[in-house]
Structure formats: structure tokens, C-alpha cells
Amino acid sequence: MNNASLYIAYKFLRSKKSSRFTSIISKSSIVGISLGIAAVIVVMSIMNGFHSEMRNKILSMVSHVIVTEKNYTLKNWDKLKYKIDRNNLIQGSSPYVEGQAMISFRNNVHGIQVKGIIPEYEKKVTSLAENIIEGSLDNIGVKPYQISIGIDLAKKMDLAVGDKITLVIPRANSTMIGIVPRIKRFEVSSIFNFGMQQYDKNLVFIDIDEAQLLYGLGENVTGLRLKLNDLFLSKKMSKIIRENYNNNFIVIDWTMMNKNFFKALQMEKTMLMLLMLLIVLVATFNIISSLFMVVSEKKSDIAILKTIGMSSKNIMHIFILQGTFLGLVGIIFGLFLGITISLNLDHIVNFIEYILGYSLLDSDIYMISSVPAKIEILDLFYVSIVSFLLSILATIYPSINASKTMPAEALKGN
């Protein structure tokens, strides 16, 4: 590919002799590729943002690693905590007791998951303390039988801080009148809001000693939750615990706890990218149409170039360069448009919601109330490379067709 091919390709693009229809086709190919790439980038940014938002919300509650033993009963947790906390990978650890129960207030009853915690340690592994919107988490363990509930549960059961609720534990007590469930009165000490209904409606926190008593665990706990300095080192930490502490420990990291969910998100992102790239593929067909029109118009010019000694290979290079340029311009505009929309997505969605008069995202369904967007350089690279390759492939057939032009036939009658 020499400078002559590049110069002639440039002159053909700048030629004012091209028909109006050819000019429209060329411009529409650029617009089509730009819109296609912009759509891919916006969709990928939303998926990345959604993935990141969901992961952060889930990990703010479930921690990075859980250590337990058979039957989900961990013995001597304090000794294990002391050893694990000395590891450089660990940011914090907290024991917990977990169980099922029913909460009753006036005529309302709701099934919940109870977690017994030590607030001082819990602050090091979850964001519970930061998400308290009313009351204080520090009352748990200080005052007897205090409970922290989610905002959705509070709304459903019409609860407020200071209200007394009844906790019914599905464990039987034998009495003179027969077997009855364990029942205990608790006072609502705080209300939290994680922004996820599955937590805000179905999860409550009480003191770990009271949970041990209610569930008959004695000095044992359900497990030990760990928060790492780097969540992506969870598998490494799991291996360290199994090899250096006790092979009998059951170690569960965050990727295992929500394995199917995160796999589904990744598959959804991949499939959406492939579907969006089909839009770019369709747009590249405009390049084929544009080049065929140019070849048809420039047959005489091609014949003259061949007559003065330009090879078929160089003729082919001219049209490959021309089509590639159209694709490259489309890619640049598409990247600019896609990044601009992604960075201003919040304002765009807010404007649309204002016009429509209702929220596009219901937090009860989607677990988020706003449209998150996160641009990843790798996605931009993949989209640009694939689009560029598709643009080059689209030029090959018209370029080969141009190189086969016969000078005698093209100049016949001129």
C-alpha cells in the first residue's frame, strides 16, 4: 500500500463530482456505525454499573469470606478470630449467629432472618452502621433485648424506634401445658436502609449473646465473617484457612455465595454485547453500498489509472482505505457519543422521568433506584477493534470488484 493509493483514496472521498445519493450513503454509513457503537457502549456501561452496584450492595452485607464448621456451628470462635485477624489480608472479622424466626406486632406477622452480632466487630465487616437511618446500633448489647430492623419491614408492620415487638423462634420449649415455641419481647432500637428489599424487609439484628440463648447454641456461633483488604483475594484467603488452620473448616467466599447470580450477570452482559454488535454489523453494510456506488461512478477514473500503469492491487487498496476511513470516522464519533451519554446518564434518565412523571426503576424489583453507569476501558477497546475489523471486512468485496475493472470496456465510447 503506497502513498499514491492513500492520496487517491483521499481525493475520491473529497471529490465534489460524486452524486448526491452516493454522498448520502457515505454519510449514513458513518452515522449508522456511530449510533451502533454508541448503543453498545451505553448498554455495556449500564451493565458494568449494575454489576458493580449489585456486587457492592450484596457484599456490604454478606462479607467476603465465611468460616464455619459442620452443621454450621463454629466452636472456639474467639481463638480462631485471634489467629485470623493477624493475617495481612484481613481487614476485620466478626462472629455471628443466624436463624429463622417470626416477628409479631399488633395484628401483623412476618417471617424474618435473625442475625446475632457484636456491633463493635460488625462495623468492621459490613456497612450496617453506616446504613442506620434512625436510632442507634450501639444499643444492641448495651440494653437488653434490643433489635435493629430494615426500613421496608418497619413500613410493612408500621414500626418505629421504641416499639416493642414479639420474636417467635421455631424451637420448642417443654412446659407443664405442653410444647410451646420460644417467644421473646424486643424493643426496636434502630432502623437501617440498605436499598435492597431482600435485606430491608427480611433481616433483623440482635445481640449475639441473646441469639445464642434463643437458639440454644451455648458458647458456639454459626460462623465467623471476614472482610478482606482486597475482595478478589477471597479464594487465596480460603485456601490459607484450609491449609494453615483446620481442614475441617467449611470456608465459603463471596463468589460461591452468589455464584449463579454473578454468572447470570456476566452471561447477560456477553449476550447483550453480541446483540449490540449486530447493530454495528448491519451499519457496516452501508459501507459496502457506499463503495459499490463509488466504484460505479469512478469506473472511468479506475480505467485511466490502470491505463497509466497502476496495478489491480493498488486499485483495491484505494477502496479499502476509503471504506476503512468511513469506518474509522464512525468509530471515533461513536466512542465520543457513547462516552458522553454514559457520563451524563443520570441527568438524561432524570429528564425522561420528569417528562413521563414516574420512576423508570422500582427498587422493589431491580434492587436499585437509579441507573448506574461504569465505563470500562477494556469494553471500549473490544468494541473499537471489532467494529474496525468489520469495517475492513466490508471493504474487501467492493475493492476486489473495483480491481477487476477492464480499462477497454470502461473507456468504451468515451
- pLDDT for 128 beyond 90: no
Tell whether 201 is covered by a domain.
Answer: yes
Residues 83 and 188 in one domain: yes
Distances (CA, A) of 39 to 6, 273, 362: 31, 10, 23
Residues 331 and 225 in one domain: no
- pLDDT for 287 beyond 90: no
277 CB neighbour count, 10 Å cutoff: 19
Task: Evaluate the CA torsion angle 236, 241, 247, 252 in order and state its sign.
Answer: negative
Q: How confident is the model at residue 371 (pLDDT cuts 50, 70, 90)?
A: confident
Residue 15: what residue type?
S
> Which of the listed residues 213, 248, 283 is the one where a domain comes to its end?
248
Per the document, the length of the chain is: 414
CA distance 209 to 192: 21
Copy the grid coordinates of residue 62. Answer: 454478606
Tell whether 166 is covered by a domain.
Answer: yes
Q: 146 - beta bridge partners?
A: 187
Residues 179 and 226 in one domain: yes
Cβ-proximal residues to 367 (8 Å cutoff; 6+ apart), any chain: 54, 57, 195, 196, 197, 198
Q: Which domain holds residue 111?
A: 70-248
CA distance 232 to 172: 42
Tell whether 255 is covered by a domain.
Answer: no
Residues 100 and 161 in one domain: yes
Q: What is the pLDDT of residues 58-110, one digit of tens each?
A: 777 778 889 998 888 898 898 889 889 888 889 999 999 999 999 999 888 99
- pLDDT for 117 beyond 90: yes
Residues 83 and 207 in one domain: yes
> Which of the listed residues 204, 225, 248 is the one where a domain comes to its end?
248
Lowest mean pLDDT of 145-149, 279-283, 345-349, name the range: 279-283
Average pLDDT, the chain: 82
Tell whether 204 is covered by a domain.
Answer: yes
Tell whether 64 is covered by a domain.
Answer: no
Residues 392 and 286 in one domain: yes
Tell whether 22 is covered by a domain.
Answer: yes
CA distance 359 to 349: 9
Residues 402 and 271 in one domain: yes
Residues 242 and 270 in one domain: no
Q: How many domains does the chain have?
A: 2
Residues 265 and 338 in one domain: yes
* Reduced 3-state DSSP string for the chain: CCHHHHHHHHHHHHCCCCCHHHHHHHHHHHHHHHHHHHHHHHHHHHHHHHHHHHHHHHHHHHCCEEEECHHHCECCHHHHHHHHCCCCCEEEEEEEEEEEEEEEECCEEEEEEEEEECHHHHHHHCCCHHHEEEECHHHECCECCEEEEEHHHHHHHCCCCCCEEEEEEEEEEEECCEEEEEEEEEEEEEEECCCCHHHHCCEEEEEHHHHHHHCCCCCCECEEEEEECCHHHHHHHHHHHHHHCCCCCEEEEHHHHCHHHHHHHHHHHHHHHHHHHHHHHHHHHHHHHHHHHHHHHCHHHHHHHHHCCCCHHHHHHHHHHHHHHHHHHHHHHHHHHHHHHHHCHHHHHHHHHHHHCCCCCCHHHHCCCCCCCCCCHHHHHHHHHHHHHHHHHHHHHHHHHHHCCCHHHHCCCC
Q: How confident is the model at residue 172 (pLDDT cuts 50, 70, 90)?
A: low
Task: Evaluate the CA torsion angle 321, 326, 332, 338 in order and state its sign.
Answer: negative
- pLDDT for 407 beyond 70: no
Copy the grid coordinates of residue 270. Answer: 456477553
Residues 228 and 271 in one domain: no
Q: Cα angle at 91 between 246 and 229, to 5 degrees?
A: 100
Tell whether 61 is covered by a domain.
Answer: no
Residues 286 and 337 in one domain: yes
- pLDDT for 314 beyond 90: no
Q: What is the pLDDT of residues 9-53, one digit of tens each?
A: 666 666 555 556 566 767 777 888 888 888 888 888 888 888 887
388 vs 290: which has the higher pLDDT:
388
348 vs 258: which has the higher pLDDT:
348
Q: What is the pLDDT of residues 149-163, one digit of tens each?
A: 999 999 999 999 999
Q: How confident is the model at residue 205 (pLDDT cuts 50, 70, 90)?
A: very high
Residues 97 and 213 in one domain: yes
> Which of the listed residues 189, 214, 248 is the one where a domain comes to its end?
248
Q: 67 - beta bridge partners?
A: 224, 251
The proportion of the chain whose per-residue pLDDT surpasses 70, expressed as a percent, equals 85
Tell whether 51 is covered by a domain.
Answer: yes
